[in-house]
Amino acid sequence: MRGQLRIQAPLALIVCLLAGFGTAGCSGSGKQHRAASQKESKHLTVESAPPRRLPVIATTRGPKDPHDFDLALLIPHGSRLRQVWFIHGGRQPDQVLVEWIRSRAVSLYGYEFSDTVRWGLTLWTQTPRAPANYQAPWKGVRIPLLTLAPGAPNTRVSFADVTSDGHPDALVEQYPHTNHGCGPHQVVATTSGVTWRIFRAELCETPLHGSRGMLALDLPYYLDGDSVCCWSKVEKLRLRWNGQRYVPVSDRISDVR
C-alpha cells in the first residue's frame, strides 16, 4: 500500500492547541496572526502518514466464534484484561480488540495511572478462515500507541466502516495532556487477513467517524473573531479508501448547527 493524504487545518489553531494553551490564549494568538497579515493563508498542510503494515506479534488457536474465547489467551502473561470489543460485519473475518494492562489499579480514568504504566491494544483476527471448531488460528497485531496512561480523557476507541467493505474498522485517538482533543488520530483496517494502519494524522477538535463507508472529518473552520472553543463554521471533508490511500470525495463548508 502506498499513498499520503494532505488536508488543511488552521495555522493558529494547530500551533496553539498542541502547545496546550487554553481558549483565551488561543483566541488572542489567532487574532494577532490575522491582524499581522489579512492576505496570508489561514491554513497549513497536515499530512497523514503513509499506510503501515502492522506485524503479527502473537498467535493462538481457539473457537471461531470469539464470544466463546477464554480471553486470557489474548493478553500477555502477567497482565489483566481491561476492555474488550467484538468486531463483526461484512465479508471480513471476525476480530477481537483487547486492551490489557499491567497494574493493580482499577479505574476508567487515566489520572489513576502513570504515563509509564505498561498497557496496550492488541487486535486479533481469525485468519486464515477455518471451519467452526475450537482450533481456529488467530493472529494478533499491536496497535501503535503513545507512551501515555490509558483511559479517559487520554484515549478514545470507536468503530466504523471507513473502507467501504461493510466491516467496522478501528478508530483510535490519543490526547497527550493537550487541550481540545489534540493528538494522533489513527485508522486500523484489515484486508485479506493482513492488518494495516491506513491513516494517522495530528488533529484537534475532530473526532473520527464514518459516513457511508467513508472516513468523515468535521474540521473546525474559524472566521475572524472566533475563539478556539466556538468556531462559526465546519469543514466537512469526506475521504474514500481506494485500496492504497484515502482520496477526497467532497469538501464543503457549512454552518455549525
Q: What whole-number distance in Å separates Cα of residue 213 and Cα of residue 215?
A: 7
Cell of residue 49, nine digits: 502518514
Q: By residue range, what is the domain housing residue 65?
A: 5-255
User: Residues 220, 234: contact at Cβ < 8 Å?
Assistant: yes
Residue 24 has φ and ψ, to the nearest 5°, of -65, -45
Q: How many CA atoms lie within 13 A of 34 on its CB side?
A: 15
Indicate the number of domains in the chain: 1
pLDDT of residue 40: 34
Closest CA to 99 of 75, 67, 125: 75
pLDDT in tens, 142-177: 999 999 999 999 999 999 999 999 999 999 999 999
- Going residue by residue through the chain (257 aa), what tens digit of pLDDT does each one get? 656 666 555 444 444 554 554 444 454 433 333 333 333 334 434 479 999 999 999 999 999 999 999 999 999 999 999 999 999 999 899 999 999 999 999 999 999 999 999 999 999 999 999 888 899 999 999 999 999 999 999 999 999 999 999 999 999 999 999 988 999 999 999 999 999 999 999 999 999 999 999 999 999 888 888 888 888 999 999 999 999 999 999 999 999 87
Vertex 211 angle, CA 148 and 17, to 5°: 35
